[in-house]
Amino acid sequence: MATLILGSCGSKGDKTTTATKDDKTTTTKAEEGSEKTTTTEGDDDSEPTTTESDGGGDGGGDIGDLSADEQAFVAAMVDAMTAEEDFPLSEEQATCFAARTIRTIGVDTMKASGATPDSIRDPNSDSMDFSEFKLTEAQANDVYDNFGRCDIDLREAMLTSMSADGEMTPAQKTCMETVLSEENLRKFMVGMMMSGEDNLENDPELSEITGGIMGCAFMGMGPAMGESDGMGEDTSTTAAP
């Protein structure tokens, strides 16, 4: 998923407090206006659990305790997401998103696709290609909603990443902002999660959005590449002979 991650915005401003007593360790991370994550590790015979509660976003509520398997996949996804330099995420945002998303998809589904915590951490693996999980439309939409639930502005993060190298012209940026509307971004992300890049050409709506993105990227490159209005329409003119 355009490596999911597509990722995101955020600062490393979360606060971490760790208290240790006997064999139990409790770590609490909190950031004003964001979700709270509490992880508790018990004796050698007990399993760690994580409870997430919303501190903003648009609902979703508590997701409850996570199993040891879920914890392992969450930790791996957090490592993968926070390693993305193009889409900087705070650990708090990544933990919130990963926990909710692992719960939405299901560990059994991820294992059945061949995904493991190690493969998720591997930048050369396709384990973060969500189309491998055969998500339903409802699941894909729920994963997309997890961005908002975790205070991640995906649209702003993508637009910022695209212009980070300073090579995007003001016209291209305006074009991208038009193409990547909230509605189009949801369609694109949900479609990518369900069917992947291979089926982009088979979906008219996704093809139009992709064409628009490419059109914005090629703006100003002259008649050889054509001129686009941002949604794939060629507006270049050719002088009459």
Q: Does a structural domain hold residue 125? A: yes
Q: Does a structural domain hold residue 239? A: no
The continuous run of DSSP H or E covering 78 comes out as helix 68-82
Per residue in 204-218, pLDDT (tens digit) is: 888 899 999 999 988
Per residue in 49-63, pLDDT (tens digit) is: 444 444 333 445 566
Query: Does one domain contain both 58 and 138?
Result: yes
Q: Does a structural domain hold residue 210? A: yes
Q: Where are the beta strands (DSSP E) in the chain?
A: 15-21, 24-30, 36-41, 49-53
Confidence of residue 99 (pLDDT cuts 50, 70, 90): very high
Query: Does one domain contain both 132 and 208?
Result: no
Range of the structural domain that residue 23 is part of? 1-153
Could you tell me the pTM of the whole model?
A: 0.68
What is the residue-averaged pLDDT of the chain? 73
- Other Cβ atoms less than 10 A from the Cβ of 52: the count is 25
Cα(72)–Cα(220) distance, rounded to whole angstroms? 47
Alpha carbon distance, N-terminus to C-terminus of the chain: 46
Query: Does one domain contain both 71 and 112?
Result: yes
